[in-house]
Chains A and B, each alone.
Chain A
Amino acid sequence: GDSVTQMEGPVTLSEEAFLTINCTYTATGYPSLFWYVQYPGEGLQLLLKATKADDKGSNKGFEATYRKETTSFHLEKGSVQVSDSAVYFCALSEGYNFNKFYFGSGTKLNVKP
């Protein structure tokens, strides 16, 4: 079945460091891929998305490229800030039957000043 695998956290970085959070997926069709961010005590917010192979999603300095050949959608940011500290979820949606999302287990990011 469909699934999403994320790197385990927590990830701890100093401010201005480069961030990569790995995400790989398994899907039978042509999924759309998403990254969501969750700040403490809050719901999830859509960070970026890509709907087909080779698409690059970007928002707030974060980027992720839909790689069909490696079934990956890694999240990157060139220079993290303390305010980026949150939990990041990778997700996919097949959409052929119903709009069910498959979420990864989340990766907690801690950015230190």
Chain B
Amino acid sequence: DGGITQSPKYLFRKEGQNVTLSCEQNLNHDAMYWYRQDPGQGLRLIYYSQIVNDFQKGDIAEGYSVSREKKESFPLTVTSAQKNPTAFYLCASSIDIQAEGNRVGYTFGSGTRLTVV
């Protein structure tokens, strides 16, 4: 079955350390997204990518970086510049950036919970 795989499910980061969260999809979706979710809050967009080798900042991109070298993969790096990285991170994808995508909706991964220790 097709879907989105996020790994690891739980991740612990030490102060000053960079960590990378994996997101892989086999849905042949064009667009991919990273969201951050804090307890009791909604989702905030970090980065998104419409096509391979291109990505755009979302609402809270500071302290994060991404790459999109393959259509299937959209890893997120949480850098040491991100002062409050403890959160639940969700990756999503959609079939097309234009009209079809906005009618079909997103497919989400199961998330990675990042904790600073």
Contact = CB atoms under 8 A, between A and B. Distances in A.
A95 B111 contact: no
B42 A95 contact: no
B14 interface: no
Contacts of B102: 31-32, 93-95, 99
A105 B98 contact: no
B111 A51 contact: no
B108 A43 contact: yes
A44 B90 contact: yes
Interface string B68-110: 0000000000000000000000101010111101111111111
B106 A101 contact: yes
State which size class the interface on A falls in: 20 to 34
Which of A34, A93, A101 neighbours the largest number of chain B CB atoms within 10 Å of its CB? A101
Contact of A106 (B41, B97, B101): B41
A103 interface: yes
B99 A95 contact: yes
Contacts of A99: 31, 94, 96-98, 101-102
Interface string B18-55: 00000000000001000000001111010010100000
Interface of B: 4, 6, 31, 40-43, 45, 48, 50, 56, 90, 92, 94, 96-99, 101-111, 113
